Amino acid sequence: MKVARFLTVVLVVAGMSFPATVVRAQSVDQFVQAFSGTWQLVDARYSNLPSTCHMALGSTADANGRFAIKGLGCRGDAALVSSWGVSEGQMALFDAAGAVIARLGGNQRRISGTSVSGAPLIFEKVGVAGTAAMLKTAKRAGGCFYSGFTSKCADAAQAAPPAPEGASVQVLVNLNVRAEARDDAEVVGVVPSQTCVTTELCMTATDGAWCRAKFGERTGWMRKLALRQNRWAIVTFDNSCPKQGG
Protein backbone atom coordinates (compact mmCIF):
# COMPACT_ATOMS: atom_id res chain seq x y z
CA MET A 1 0.00 0.00 0.00
CA LYS A 2 1.15 3.53 -0.68
CA VAL A 3 2.08 6.19 1.84
CA ALA A 4 -0.19 8.50 -0.15
CA ARG A 5 -3.05 7.03 1.88
CA PHE A 6 -1.73 9.03 4.83
CA LEU A 7 -4.51 11.23 6.23
CA THR A 8 -3.57 14.84 6.94
CA VAL A 9 -6.23 15.30 9.59
CA VAL A 10 -6.00 15.08 13.35
CA LEU A 11 -7.37 11.73 14.49
CA VAL A 12 -7.01 9.56 17.58
CA VAL A 13 -6.17 5.89 17.22
CA ALA A 14 -8.90 3.92 18.91
CA GLY A 15 -7.67 2.10 21.99
CA MET A 16 -4.18 3.63 21.93
CA SER A 17 -2.96 5.46 25.01
CA PHE A 18 -0.10 7.95 25.13
CA PRO A 19 -0.28 9.66 28.54
CA ALA A 20 1.79 12.80 29.07
CA THR A 21 1.89 15.68 31.48
CA VAL A 22 2.41 18.94 29.63
CA VAL A 23 3.97 21.75 31.60
CA ARG A 24 2.07 25.02 31.29
CA ALA A 25 4.32 27.21 33.35
CA GLN A 26 2.68 30.28 34.86
CA SER A 27 6.02 31.96 35.57
CA VAL A 28 9.72 31.72 34.80
CA ASP A 29 10.27 30.19 38.24
CA GLN A 30 7.78 27.40 37.51
CA PHE A 31 9.31 26.87 34.07
CA VAL A 32 12.80 26.55 35.55
CA GLN A 33 11.59 24.25 38.31
CA ALA A 34 9.96 21.97 35.72
CA PHE A 35 12.90 21.70 33.32
CA SER A 36 16.10 22.20 35.32
CA GLY A 37 18.04 19.03 36.16
CA THR A 38 19.96 16.43 34.19
CA TRP A 39 18.86 15.30 30.73
CA GLN A 40 20.35 12.78 28.29
CA LEU A 41 20.31 12.85 24.49
CA VAL A 42 18.76 9.82 22.83
CA ASP A 43 20.75 9.95 19.57
CA ALA A 44 24.19 8.34 19.98
CA ARG A 45 25.55 10.59 17.24
CA TYR A 46 25.71 13.36 19.83
CA SER A 47 27.66 11.23 22.32
CA ASN A 48 31.36 10.53 22.73
CA LEU A 49 30.88 6.77 22.90
CA PRO A 50 30.82 4.74 25.06
CA SER A 51 29.60 7.70 27.14
CA THR A 52 26.11 9.14 26.70
CA CYS A 53 25.68 12.88 26.22
CA HIS A 54 24.26 14.37 29.42
CA MET A 55 23.31 18.01 30.01
CA ALA A 56 22.72 19.47 33.46
CA LEU A 57 20.32 22.43 33.09
CA GLY A 58 20.99 24.99 35.80
CA SER A 59 18.43 27.11 37.64
CA THR A 60 20.29 30.37 38.29
CA ALA A 61 19.81 33.10 35.67
CA ASP A 62 22.66 35.18 34.31
CA ALA A 63 22.47 38.86 33.31
CA ASN A 64 20.77 37.88 30.02
CA GLY A 65 18.09 35.81 31.75
CA ARG A 66 19.60 32.53 30.58
CA PHE A 67 20.53 29.49 32.64
CA ALA A 68 23.83 27.63 32.46
CA ILE A 69 24.16 24.13 30.99
CA LYS A 70 26.95 21.77 31.89
CA GLY A 71 27.48 19.12 29.19
CA LEU A 72 29.29 15.83 29.65
CA GLY A 73 30.26 13.35 26.92
CA CYS A 74 28.71 15.43 24.13
CA ARG A 75 29.81 16.15 20.57
CA GLY A 76 28.47 17.85 17.43
CA ASP A 77 25.78 20.49 17.93
CA ALA A 78 25.30 19.24 21.50
CA ALA A 79 28.87 20.16 22.43
CA LEU A 80 28.18 23.80 21.48
CA VAL A 81 25.34 24.25 23.98
CA SER A 82 26.25 26.45 26.96
CA SER A 83 22.93 27.84 28.25
CA TRP A 84 19.15 27.50 28.05
CA GLY A 85 16.12 29.72 28.48
CA VAL A 86 13.03 31.04 26.73
CA SER A 87 13.15 32.54 23.24
CA GLU A 88 10.07 33.54 21.23
CA GLY A 89 7.83 31.65 23.63
CA GLN A 90 9.78 28.39 23.37
CA MET A 91 12.45 26.65 25.35
CA ALA A 92 15.77 27.28 23.58
CA LEU A 93 19.38 26.13 23.75
CA PHE A 94 22.10 28.75 23.18
CA ASP A 95 25.78 28.64 22.30
CA ALA A 96 28.46 30.66 24.11
CA ALA A 97 27.76 33.70 21.92
CA GLY A 98 24.04 33.62 22.71
CA ALA A 99 22.92 32.30 19.34
CA VAL A 100 20.02 29.82 19.33
CA ILE A 101 21.15 26.27 18.59
CA ALA A 102 17.70 24.67 18.91
CA ARG A 103 14.12 25.38 19.96
CA LEU A 104 12.39 22.65 21.95
CA GLY A 105 9.01 21.61 23.27
CA GLY A 106 7.78 18.85 25.55
CA ASN A 107 7.16 17.89 29.14
CA GLN A 108 9.05 16.98 32.30
CA ARG A 109 10.02 13.59 30.86
CA ARG A 110 10.98 14.39 27.27
CA ILE A 111 11.79 17.48 25.21
CA SER A 112 12.51 17.51 21.50
CA GLY A 113 13.09 19.75 18.51
CA THR A 114 15.46 20.40 15.62
CA SER A 115 18.88 22.02 15.71
CA VAL A 116 19.87 24.89 13.41
CA SER A 117 21.75 22.32 11.30
CA GLY A 118 18.48 20.41 10.75
CA ALA A 119 19.28 17.46 13.04
CA PRO A 120 16.59 16.16 15.42
CA LEU A 121 17.21 16.43 19.16
CA ILE A 122 15.45 14.20 21.69
CA PHE A 123 16.18 14.65 25.40
CA GLU A 124 14.98 12.46 28.27
CA LYS A 125 15.04 13.50 31.92
CA VAL A 126 17.40 11.28 33.89
CA GLY A 127 15.68 9.33 36.67
CA VAL A 128 12.10 10.25 35.68
CA ALA A 129 9.81 7.28 35.03
CA GLY A 130 7.32 7.57 32.22
CA THR A 131 5.86 5.52 29.37
CA ALA A 132 8.85 3.17 29.44
CA ALA A 133 7.91 1.99 32.94
CA MET A 134 4.27 1.53 31.90
CA LEU A 135 5.31 -0.51 28.86
CA LYS A 136 7.53 -2.70 31.03
CA THR A 137 4.70 -3.31 33.49
CA ALA A 138 2.22 -4.09 30.69
CA LYS A 139 4.64 -6.47 29.00
CA ARG A 140 5.26 -8.30 32.25
CA ALA A 141 1.52 -8.58 32.95
CA GLY A 142 0.67 -9.77 29.44
CA GLY A 143 3.72 -11.95 29.01
CA CYS A 144 4.92 -10.28 25.80
CA PHE A 145 4.56 -7.46 23.30
CA TYR A 146 1.57 -8.27 21.10
CA SER A 147 1.71 -7.93 17.32
CA GLY A 148 -0.59 -4.99 16.63
CA PHE A 149 -4.13 -5.47 17.95
CA THR A 150 -3.91 -9.26 17.72
CA SER A 151 -3.52 -11.81 20.52
CA LYS A 152 -0.28 -13.06 18.93
CA CYS A 153 3.00 -12.34 20.69
CA ALA A 154 5.60 -10.55 18.60
CA ASP A 155 8.92 -12.35 18.35
CA ALA A 156 12.20 -10.70 19.36
CA ALA A 157 13.00 -9.62 15.79
CA GLN A 158 9.61 -7.97 15.33
CA ALA A 159 9.86 -6.07 18.62
CA ALA A 160 13.45 -4.94 18.03
CA PRO A 161 14.27 -1.44 16.75
CA PRO A 162 14.42 -1.11 12.93
CA ALA A 163 17.52 -0.07 11.01
CA PRO A 164 18.69 3.43 12.03
CA GLU A 165 18.25 4.82 8.52
CA GLY A 166 16.25 3.91 5.44
CA ALA A 167 14.13 1.08 6.84
CA SER A 168 11.04 -0.14 4.97
CA VAL A 169 8.40 -0.96 7.58
CA GLN A 170 4.77 -2.12 7.58
CA VAL A 171 2.33 -0.49 9.98
CA LEU A 172 0.15 -2.99 11.89
CA VAL A 173 -2.46 -0.59 13.32
CA ASN A 174 -4.02 2.74 12.38
CA LEU A 175 -1.05 4.65 13.75
CA ASN A 176 -0.83 8.27 14.85
CA VAL A 177 2.06 10.23 13.37
CA ARG A 178 3.33 13.09 15.53
CA ALA A 179 5.21 16.27 14.75
CA GLU A 180 7.89 15.34 17.31
CA ALA A 181 9.09 12.10 18.89
CA ARG A 182 7.11 12.45 22.10
CA ASP A 183 3.65 11.54 23.39
CA ASP A 184 2.29 15.07 23.72
CA ALA A 185 3.38 16.35 20.31
CA GLU A 186 0.80 17.39 17.72
CA VAL A 187 -0.79 14.57 15.73
CA VAL A 188 -0.22 15.43 12.07
CA GLY A 189 -2.04 12.43 10.62
CA VAL A 190 -2.68 8.71 10.75
CA VAL A 191 -1.07 5.92 8.74
CA PRO A 192 -3.65 3.20 7.95
CA SER A 193 -2.97 -0.38 9.02
CA GLN A 194 -0.97 -2.50 6.55
CA THR A 195 0.61 0.57 4.91
CA CYS A 196 4.29 0.31 4.00
CA VAL A 197 6.46 3.29 4.96
CA THR A 198 10.11 4.09 4.21
CA THR A 199 11.68 5.78 7.22
CA GLU A 200 14.33 8.51 7.09
CA LEU A 201 15.84 7.65 10.45
CA CYS A 202 15.00 5.83 13.68
CA MET A 203 16.12 6.54 17.24
CA THR A 204 15.77 4.31 20.27
CA ALA A 205 14.52 6.01 23.44
CA THR A 206 13.67 4.44 26.80
CA ASP A 207 10.16 3.69 25.48
CA GLY A 208 11.43 2.02 22.31
CA ALA A 209 12.13 3.17 18.78
CA TRP A 210 10.69 6.29 17.15
CA CYS A 211 11.00 6.62 13.38
CA ARG A 212 10.74 9.73 11.23
CA ALA A 213 9.34 9.56 7.71
CA LYS A 214 7.96 11.86 5.05
CA PHE A 215 4.25 11.62 4.25
CA GLY A 216 3.42 13.71 1.23
CA GLU A 217 4.19 17.30 2.27
CA ARG A 218 4.47 16.46 5.97
CA THR A 219 7.18 14.85 8.06
CA GLY A 220 6.31 13.01 11.25
CA TRP A 221 7.35 10.45 13.85
CA MET A 222 5.91 6.96 14.46
CA ARG A 223 6.51 5.06 17.68
CA LYS A 224 7.36 1.37 17.59
CA LEU A 225 5.97 0.30 20.99
CA ALA A 226 2.70 1.47 22.52
CA LEU A 227 0.00 0.72 25.08
CA ARG A 228 -3.40 -0.51 24.01
CA GLN A 229 -6.20 0.57 26.35
CA ASN A 230 -3.60 1.20 29.08
CA ARG A 231 -3.32 -2.57 29.45
CA TRP A 232 -1.49 -4.38 26.66
CA ALA A 233 1.98 -3.63 25.32
CA ILE A 234 2.00 -3.82 21.53
CA VAL A 235 4.28 -3.51 18.51
CA THR A 236 2.84 -0.98 16.04
CA PHE A 237 4.89 -1.84 12.94
CA ASP A 238 7.05 -4.61 11.47
CA ASN A 239 10.67 -3.94 10.55
CA SER A 240 10.12 -5.03 6.96
CA CYS A 241 7.44 -4.78 4.30
CA PRO A 242 6.20 -7.80 2.30
CA LYS A 243 7.00 -7.64 -1.39
CA GLN A 244 3.93 -7.09 -3.52
CA GLY A 245 3.22 -9.36 -6.50
CA GLY A 246 5.22 -12.31 -7.75
101 φ, ψ to 5°? Answer: -95, -35
Q: Percent of the chain having pLDDT more than 70?
A: 88
- Cβ-based burial of 242 (10 A; exposed 0-12, middle 13-18, buried ≥19): exposed
Cα–Cα distance, 175 to 191 (Å, whole number): 5
- Cβ-based burial of 244 (10 A; exposed 0-12, middle 13-18, buried ≥19): exposed
Residue 15: pLDDT over 70 = no
Summarize the confidence of residues 45-72 as an average pLDDT. Answer: 94
pLDDT for 114-144, tens place per residue? Answer: 998 888 999 999 988 778 899 999 999 999 9
Domains and CATH numbers, the chain: 3-17+131-238 (2.30.30.40), 28-106 (no CATH)
Cα–Cα distance, 123 to 112 (Å, whole number): 6
Cα–Cα distance, 225 to 200 (Å, whole number): 18
pLDDT for 152-166, tens place per residue? Answer: 999 999 999 999 988
The pTM of the full predicted model, rounded to 2 decimals, is 0.83
Cα–Cα distance, 105 to 107 (Å, whole number): 7
In the structure, what pLDDT confidence band is assigned to residue 21 with cuts at 50, 70 and 90? very low
